[in-house]
Amino acid sequence: MNDQPLRGRTVVVTRAEAQAPALVDLLHGLGANAVQMPAIRVVDPTDGGEGLRAAADRLSDYDWVVFTSVNAVERFVPLLGPPPATVTARIAAIGASTAGALASAGLGVDLVPDRFVAESLLEVFPPPSGRRRVLLARAAVAREVLPEGLRAAGWEVDVVEAYGTERTRLSPESVAAAAGADAIAFTSASSVGSYLEAAGTDAVPPVVACIGPVTAAAATERGLEVHVVPEVHTMAALVEALAAHLGGGAKPLG
């Protein structure tokens, strides 16, 4: 593979505008032209953050705090006061980016599963001890796999809404540009649904790349053929896998 295997290729980026630059930079680094079409935007929780603030105030009640996204970290950590914050609970994170955001905030991470999905965290999460309570800070709309699995294991779980997402409006010009691209990259299940609702299936390029199995499942359920899912569920791995696929030899998944 040469230094710029995606030179001349156009890839649609559907991440929220504030989060897109990291993925765009990775694509540019491999020579691709990125068409930014943020399918979602991150918004405040429906309660205005009241639940999140209350959870931060009673953090000492919990044995574990679980973060499933960078968005949750960015919304929750500032409520703990000036860094470095003192957190007595153990911290679990799904994903290298989430763990990195916590580390950047000066918080140690005690548990990160090898695969960046809820099921993998459940496999390695310890049995109940101490206060037997877990705080899960996450999006307003999310799968119930994690809280249900933790409760089944004997934990008391408090789920707090850290943020929400909304579908964005896409201009006809941007939809047309997307339809002519070589590939599209999805980094969340919510972006899949929002993009298709805003742009339609006709604006889906011939190659669909998804950051992980949950996102890929959402795309498949919507009738899309998924071609690329990296073994490691990071943006860097997603771009590398997309470059390898567009170089030939890969087959659609499922």
List, for residues 78-114, the tens digit of each pLDDT value.
Answer: 998 876 667 889 999 998 889 999 999 889 999 999 8
Q: What is the mean pLDDT of the chain?
A: 90
If you average pLDDT over residues 222-250, what whole number do you get?
88
Q: What is the mean pLDDT of residues 3-19?
A: 89
- What 8-state DSSP symbol labels residue 234? S
Q: Give the three-class secondary structure for 221.
A: helix
Distance of CA 79 to the CA centre of its chain: 22
- The pLDDT > 70 percentage for the chain reads 95
pLDDT > 90 fraction of the chain, expressed in percent and rounded: 66
**What distance in Å separates the CA atoms of residue 155 and residue 133, rounded to the nearest whole number?**
6
pTM of the model: 0.81
Closest CA to 140 of 165, 116, 123, 122: 165
Contacts of 126 (CB under 8 A, 6+ apart): none
CATH 3.40.50.10090 fits 10-39+168-246, yes or no: yes
The answer to whether residue 252 scores a pLDDT higher than 80 is: no
pLDDT of residue 206: 96
For residue 236, the model assigns a pLDDT of 92
Give the pair of three-digit tokens for residue 189: 């299940």
Q: Which of 195, 176, 175, 177 is nearest to 185 (CA)?
A: 195
Question: Does 3.30.379.10 match the CATH number of domain 50-165?
Answer: no
pLDDT at 250 over 50: no
- Which residues is 92 bridged to in the sheet? 66, 111
**Of residues 115, 89, 112, 74, the one with CA closest to residue 212:** 115
Task: Give every CB contact of residue 18 below 8 A, 6+ residues apart in sequence.
Answer: 42
pLDDT tens figures, 147-203: 999 999 999 999 999 998 888 888 888 899 999 999 999 998 889 999 999 999 999
Predicted pLDDT at 83: 66
Query: For 13-51, what is each residue's pLDDT tens digit?
Result: 998 888 889 899 999 999 999 999 998 888 999 999 999
Domain with CATH 3.40.50.10090 in the chain: 10-39+168-246, 50-165
